[in-house]
Structure 1
Amino acid sequence: MLILLPVCRNLISFFRGSVETNKYCCRRSVRRLLDKNLSFHKRLAYMIVILSITHCIAHFFNFQYLYDAQVGSAEGSLERYLSDLDDDGSDTWINPVRPPPITLYGLGVIEQGLRRVAGWSGVIITVALLLMFTSATEFIRRSYFETFWITHHLFVIYYGFLLVHGTEGVIRSQSNTDIHDPVYCENISVKDWNFDPKCMTSPTFVKGSAASYKWVTGPLVLYFIERLIRFIRSHQTVTITKVVRHPSRVFELRMKKKGFKMQSGQYIFLKCPSLSHLQWHPFTLTSSPDEDFFSVHIRTAGDWTTSLSIACGATSKEPIAAGDLPRVAVDGPFGTASIDIFKYQVGICVAAGIGVTPFASILKSIWYQIREGDEELKLRKVYFFWVCPDTNAFEWFSELLKKLEIEMAEQGRSDFLNYNIYLSRGWSTTQAKNIYLLEEDNKDAITGLRQKTHYGRPVWDSIFKQIASDNPGVNAGVFFCGPSALSHVLHKNSNLHSSITRDGCRFFYNKENF
């Protein structure tokens, strides 16, 4: 019932918007829970697999007991009597193993189990579940996406056979307990039942009604609506207005779509039908809501992104004519944790590598609001930390930082944005010499920015202590996009350095989830 709901992106986005505008709800805490939808989906999958295995093992023991009762129980015993109830052609049986038990290659128990609807449908359900689960590993998702996509859509077969799994009514219950007391009669020999008024009437059994549909019909309807929305969006016209080539194998797609409305920090799913009709890839929007287009920055790091860059002319010397650009489909936009930065007085943005993309949109939007003198802007200070493994990731984003640095200085707001770039590795001997020679220069040797690049990894404990000291009595939102290892460190420091007093700084951790 639950596992379909977290993957209904539009449903989650709808609830997130409702929570955000509801002044009487625990908005921050509920939004943080909605941002964990995929983690919840994965944990539900683990639980379903564990309980399914338990369910199967229990039925193995159950059918072995029923088979032994039909084949090996002594004449006159209760097990033999109950197993033979259907011999007169009535439908009052309780033991689904029917006489004479047919043995297929000596596997009588398995053969008897597969003769029932619950048996063969259970096998199909289990196989579909295992294929979905094993093909959902990160390696297969990233390297063989079509395999993941196709096997994950076995959920259609899974739910279909789940609905018929209990229709035969193998689990049965006694219908005449008022005239045949099962507790009393169990302690009397079957031979003596005809002489006891409480047991004289034979027990009758009826099948239980299938109940799966009561639980899964609602989520299936919601998921069908979700897929219908995606299908409609996939056929809406999206115009690529410009393709911008950036250094380090990064290109920018600027697009327009009728009725498209976005917020800073949101993301979209992008599909290029000429490359694949199955693959939808998530990309964070790097444009601002104040711009007349929406854009994504894409780094060519795989087969699909490489093919898209070639199709869009990002690798050729001459730009491709607008009419020759490939058709793309857009689903979204969808909200993430980053859009909540405007709810805090202090924003702390931490990016690792290409995880910097959500903050491009946010920084642009902040700048537009400052330039227009937006009095409703709650933010008073933004700390930006960017940890890069090598210098190749610097170019395109450092251009944006350089522009913001100049324009904010002209507005007299140089102290509003405090940015720190950390180069963790990847500098050559030549670059090291240039860094040393230009150390006294006003601009950084690598980025060209006024604030110098740090070399090595940030000491987060000291950083959080300093921010807490500089911002007493405020709520500071910590926003991160990057690998889980660094996420744990930031989350731990956010909790460690949050003050419980009114005059202390309180950190609220938020992580991007795609």
Structure 2
Amino acid sequence: MVDSKEFAVGIFDALARRRRQNLERITKEELYDFWLQISDQSFDARLQIFFDMVDTNVDGRITRQEVQELIILSCSANKLAKLKEQAEEYAALIMEELDPENLGYIELWQLEALLLQRDTYMNYSRPLSTASAAAWSQPIPGGAPKPPRRPWFSPRRAATRLRLAARENWQRAWVVALWVAAMAGLFAWKFTQYRQRTAFRVMGYCLPTAKGAAETLKLNMSLVLLPVCRNTLTWLRSTRARLFVPFDDNITFHKMIATAIVVGILLHAGNHLACDFPRLINSSPAHYEMVARYFGPEKPTYRSLVAGVEGVTGIAMVALMAVSFTLATHRFRKNGVRLPFPLNRLTGFNAFWYSHHLLAVVYLLLLIHGYFVFLVHKWYQRTTWMYISVPLLLYLGERNLRAFRSKGYSVKILKVSLLPGGVLTVTMSKPHGFRYRSGQYIFLQCPTISPFEWFIPKLSHPFSITSAPGDEYLSVHIRTSGDWTQELKRIFIENYFSPHSTGKATFNELGSLEQKSLPRLFVDGPYGAPAQDFRNYDVLLLVGLGIGATPFISILRDLLNNIKLADELMELAMETSRSEVSSNSFSISTTSSSTKKRSYRTSSAHFYWGIIEMHNYLTSVYEERDARTTLLKMVQALNHAKHGVDIVSGTRVRTHFARPNWKEVFTKLASKHPGATVGVFYCGTPTLAKELRKLSHEMSHRTSTRFHFHKEYF
């Protein structure tokens, strides 16, 4: 806000200099006149204001120093601190372009000519492929005209939306429907059973309600383990089960089951404590005689009921689950709740992870609670162990497998880079026999941070693999947002980094790793993720917000490696066809080289039909038409024209100072790839996912291109 204020003061001073005034205060008429000048949308008016801001001595000329000062001001307004360090170099670049005769200044007409030619300079977002460089990708335009208003309800449009929703969500729908039906069936079965028991005359409808809820709890306490059996899910992703089971929604389903468990606890414990027990202890001797065989000849007190095995285990389970579920909520897990010391330890990822392991005690108590259950004497009616035994054994087997495998996957740290925005890039050796697919993720352990990770495999720090399967190393990008990642960053910065200036080092590396006593890292995985299915589509649209771009780094590297491999194989095939005359030789006599490349790539990964376009959007700055970014856009264009590098990203990929117009993006893809299947992969916050999902549905209905949306939240 302060930086924007400084920029506004600069505009005010420029307008005041036009009047040859040094204003300390302003009248209403002068303010109105200033407003008219600022709100003038014409090119000449905006250019004149911009020129006057730079021309601080009002001599009609702009010097290199004045240009440098305005670049610094523009960088401050857009919070681009790194660019401020290069302000002198960028000012020299502008003067070199506009002052070839070394007069030491430029005039208004020269600045106007440069701004009018900016679009020519900006056409540089090159595709990263071996295709013809003539097919450069164009910047995606923004600001599409608003469509005319339509009536809020249309039966045809509602039917279309319903059909698209069914097509998109049928996998989720049948799984959730089956789950709800199972809960409803179990509740109804147990409710009816206890409705016909003699105890119903004593305790009323509270008893069958509590018992029905208990039956759903048994089911859900078993099902809640399945979505977190990661090895099993990774294996199932490679089978035909992926065609009808939405494995991408495993954590969502895990949370849904947890919510159902909370509801079941409220119904079960609430009816027992607030209804069943009071009715039992206040029952008449005749009514109590009906249930005396379950509770003894003497009527129990409320305290004796609660202090029994059933009561103690039940209350203990409720207390432990209340702690675990509360610390697992989004705000607690992401440090969104600020608590005073020492309660601040109850927030963050570590608190979530350790509290979740309290559920191991809950399952032990559940088995005991289920054995000493009220109103049941026969062993085969104590069904709790029947529900949870198989899922529990499967989960325990997975944990043992992960513990064994993680100790065998010890890696050596090869390189650590500290990137802007608090992001660490860790490059590690690849363990022998470690195989993975692009888009998958791994878990990292670091016993240096938490001693318990050595004794209890703390495999709860997932990171997308950013290296390609063909690389000889593993790499991950880690954003320091939680307590564990902040501690990892602190260890590297305090003990292993020696800051030094790297100039224009690749990826803006700020430090190099010194070979001291490096922390031990263990790897567990790989595990399946939505992005690993990218090979199933003709065209890919990869959308990553911030650190959400990490799953796609591996995919892009994999694409480039395959393109390079295809070129090498083509050259080998061409040499073979020249040197060997055989019926089995690879002939290119009737097919051009480019066609053969396409054929090869289609057979190995059928979406290699076109070039790779990359667009980088910096949404934290002011949009491209804003005066605060005008000079930066000019510098960006000139720097790329001369050096071939974008000033923001440090790569050939152009950075757009705007938010993407997603409708334009989808429309462009649909017109460019008619009849194709487009995989839309998104990783980031849930907000944008709704818009991308909606556009995928709409464009699939309106065009011949089919968009399939996949999301992954960080």
TM range (shorter): 0.7 to 0.9
Alignment of 1:10-21 (within 5 A): 10-17=231-238, 19=239
Q: 2:709 aligns with which of 502, 509, 514?
A: 509
- Pair 1:211–1:323, CA change in 2 (3 A): same
Distance in 1 (CA, whole Å) between partners of 2:318 and 2:258 is 13
Verify the 8 A CA contact 1:309 1:315 in the aligned structure 2.
no
SS class of match (1:512): strand
Give yes or no for the alignment of 1:481 onto 2:654. no
Name the amino acid aligned to 1:316.
S
Alignment correspondent of 1:176: none
Q: 2:632 aligns with which of 431, 434, 456?
A: 434
Distance in 2 (CA, whole Å) between partners of 1:59 and 1:208 is 23
Give yes or no for the alignment of 1:275 onto 2:449. yes
Distance in 2 (CA, whole Å) between partners of 1:133 and 1:455 is 41
Alignment correspondent of 1:455: 657
Q: 2:290 aligns with which of 82, 96, 106?
A: 82
Per-residue deviation at 1:283? 0.9
Alignment correspondent of 2:353: 149
RMSD: 2.7
Per-residue deviation at 1:315? 3.3
SS class of match (1:274): coil
SS class of match (2:433): coil
Give yes or no for the alignment of 1:59 onto 2:272. yes
Verify the 8 A CA contact 2:423 2:477 in the aligned structure 1.
yes
Distance in 1 (CA, whole Å) between partners of 2:394 and 2:379 is 31
Distance in 1 (CA, whole Å) between partners of 2:613 and 2:512 is 37
- Pair 1:166–1:45, CA change in 2 (3 A): same
Verify the 8 A CA contact 1:67 1:97 in the aligned structure 2.
no
Name the amino acid aligned to 1:82.
M
Alignment correspondent of 1:225: 397
Alignment correspondent of 1:133: 325
Give yes or no for the alignment of 1:346 onto 2:560. no
Bigger strand fraction: 1
Per-residue deviation at 1:512? 2.0
Distance in 2 (CA, whole Å) between partners of 1:319 and 1:451 is 25
Give yes or no for the alignment of 1:122 onto 2:302. no
Per-residue deviation at 1:303? 4.1
Verify the 8 A CA contact 2:419 2:425 in the aligned structure 1.
no
1:186-231 Cα distance to aligned partner (Å, 9 max, x none): xxxxxxxxxxxxxxxxxxxx78731100010111111111110121
Alignment correspondent of 1:471: 673
Distance in 1 (CA, whole Å) between partners of 2:628 and 2:659 is 21
Per-residue deviation at 1:26? 6.1
Distance in 2 (CA, whole Å) between partners of 1:512 and 1:322 is 36
Verify the 8 A CA contact 1:245 1:314 in the aligned structure 2.
no
Verify the 8 A CA contact 1:66 1:97 in the aligned structure 2.
no
Alignment correspondent of 2:51: none
- Greater RCO, 1 or 2 (C-alpha within 8 Å, sep 6+): 2
Alignment correspondent of 1:315: 497
1:238-296 Cα distance to aligned partner (Å, 9 max, x none): 23242142431433222121221111111111111011134531111111111111111
Give yes or no for the alignment of 1:300 onto 2:480. yes
Alignment correspondent of 2:555: 362
Name the amino acid aligned to 1:423.
L
TM-score using structure 1 length: 0.75
Distance in 2 (CA, whole Å) between partners of 1:489 and 1:163 is 45
Distance in 2 (CA, whole Å) between partners of 1:132 and 1:499 is 44
Alignment correspondent of 1:164: 368
Verify the 8 A CA contact 2:496 2:515 in the aligned structure 1.
no
SS class of match (1:477): strand
Distance in 2 (CA, whole Å) between partners of 1:429 and 1:315 is 39
Does 254-263 or 233-242 show the bigger shift? 233-242
Verify the 8 A CA contact 1:171 1:207 in the aligned structure 2.
no
- Pair 1:307–1:418, CA change in 2 (3 A): same
SS class of match (1:242): strand
Give yes or no for the alignment of 1:250 onto 2:440. no
Give yes or no for the alignment of 1:4 onto 2:177. no
Alignment correspondent of 1:388: none
Verify the 8 A CA contact 2:350 2:483 in the aligned structure 1.
no
Distance in 2 (CA, whole Å) between partners of 1:337 and 1:207 is 44
Verify the 8 A CA contact 2:370 2:385 in the aligned structure 1.
no
Verify the 8 A CA contact 2:417 2:426 in the aligned structure 1.
no
Verify the 8 A CA contact 1:169 1:208 in the aligned structure 2.
no
Distance in 2 (CA, whole Å) between partners of 1:432 and 1:316 is 37
Per-residue deviation at 1:81? 3.7
- Pair 1:98–1:141, CA change in 2 (3 A): farther
Q: 1:99 aligns with which of 298, 305, 322?
A: 298
Gaps (5+ residues) in structure 1? 20-24, 86-92, 102-107, 174-205, 383-414
Verify the 8 A CA contact 1:270 1:328 in the aligned structure 2.
yes
Give yes or no for the alignment of 1:42 onto 2:42. no
SS class of match (1:15): helix
Alignment correspondent of 1:288: 468
SS class of match (2:370): coil
Give yes or no for the alignment of 1:112 onto 2:304. yes
Verify the 8 A CA contact 1:286 1:361 in the aligned structure 2.
yes
- Pair 1:241–1:169, CA change in 2 (3 A): closer
**Quick one: percent identity of the two aligned structures?**
33
Report the count of equivalent residues: 418
Give yes or no for the alignment of 1:417 onto 2:612. yes
Q: 1:335 aligns with which of 528, 531, 544?
A: 528
- Pair 1:81–1:356, CA change in 2 (3 A): closer
Distance in 2 (CA, whole Å) between partners of 1:260 and 1:511 is 26
- Pair 1:430–1:300, CA change in 2 (3 A): farther
Gaps (5+ residues) in structure 2? 1-221, 336-347, 500-510, 567-599
Give yes or no for the alignment of 1:212 onto 2:384. yes
